[in-house]
Amino acid sequence: MHRRHRGETIRRRADTPSSSRDRGVSDDVVSIDSIEPDLAKASSTGAGDVAHDDESSLETGSRGTSASASSSDVEDVPDAGWWPSGGFPGLLDGFRAIPRGAHSRWNSPPTPLRELDETQVPKHIAIIMDGNARWAEKRRLPRTIGHERGVNALRQVVRCCGAWGVRTLTVFAFSHENWGRNASEVDELMALLETAMRDELPLLVEEGVRVEVIGDLNRVNEGLRDAVDRAMTATKDNDKMRLVVALSYGGRQDIVEAAKQIAREVAAGKLSVDDVNEHTFSSYLSTYDKTLASRDIHFAQAPDLLIRTSEQRLSNFLLWELAYTELYFANTMWPEFGEAELRRALHAYAKRDRRYGGRS
């Protein structure tokens, strides 16, 4: 188990679930004809996540900015009348909201990627999962159902990434700014995260996923911290894929903590000012794992591709790491995101010309 303390910021391994329910395919910036014949039959899945509201907008454009995907509306869902009386709804209640027959589709392996070779698949994908509460409100469902559907969507995305050769998936589960939401919603989200981490652990172990958590875990409750510790311990030897969960995380806060730690070491004579460069600074961020960086040739601290659903902004997520990341904006809410939408994003990414400021 690797644990690194920097001020109040803690880096741990943890587990966060994933998956979604099947949906119809929609129009996108990438045409279906350019992908594969059976993409039209592929489906996205639905669930709910944690929305991240911020003010800094991103430009849309081509290389290094954004592509967008659209999705048709989801099929009819049960009205709120099925909601159980009393108590916080568990993940089983989320399953009850799913159409019959969908469970087996969730457990089916993803369709293999076609027309993309290994070099065209991003090794590190980051996702801002946005739109859960709005998805639920639009359907007059309790907000918690939206967040539960996000768990299902993430499960499906994790399975796809593992099957398609993505080595690291970093997801924004709960932001530093989300603590400003009303207490009841925060409590709901903490309870859902704890339940999901416990319930999804067997699947993550089975899939060979190594779970990590970055962020200020001092602010979360003891039950969630215990679930994080249990998940990181159970998956620490897995090496098929890394699932990095940003929990109580903020990009600016992470940069500030790294700067403070460097300043302390310079003041103590452990580090020379002349030795501080971009690489050195990166190694003090919570996204850096010294052990993995030294032994895993696939370790990538900076994402190759960022996907955001619903909105077009960074919301204080991985601000240092995203300097040369390709940005892709899907015009769907996170509960509507699934295999088909992820496939579109990867095909859009494969068409980008990544020059890192140079010329081809």
Q: What is the DSSP string of 74-122?
A: PPP---GGGPPSSS---HHHHHHTSPTTHHHHHHSPPPPP-S--GGGS-
Locate all alpha helices (DSSP H) within the chain, ordered by sequence. 91-96, 102-107, 132-138, 143-164, 183-206, 222-235, 251-267, 278-282, 290-295, 339-350
Alpha-carbon span 242 to 236, nearest angstrom: 10
Active site residues: 130, 178
> Is-contact 249 172, C-beta < 8 A?
yes
Closest CA to 78 of 102, 94, 101: 94
Q: Is 114 exposed, middle or buried (0-12, 13-18, 19+ CB in 10 A)?
A: exposed
Say which amino acid occupies 127: I
Answer whether 16's CB lies under 8 Å from 171's CB: yes
The Cα 281–Cα 212 span in angstroms is 21
Buried b (16+ CB within 10 A) or exposed e, 74-91: beebeeeeeeeeeeebeb
d(CA 330, CA 68): 5
What is the distance between the alpha carbons of residues 43 and 22, in angstroms, rounded to a whole number?
5
Cβ atoms of 171 and 129 within 8 Å: the answer is yes
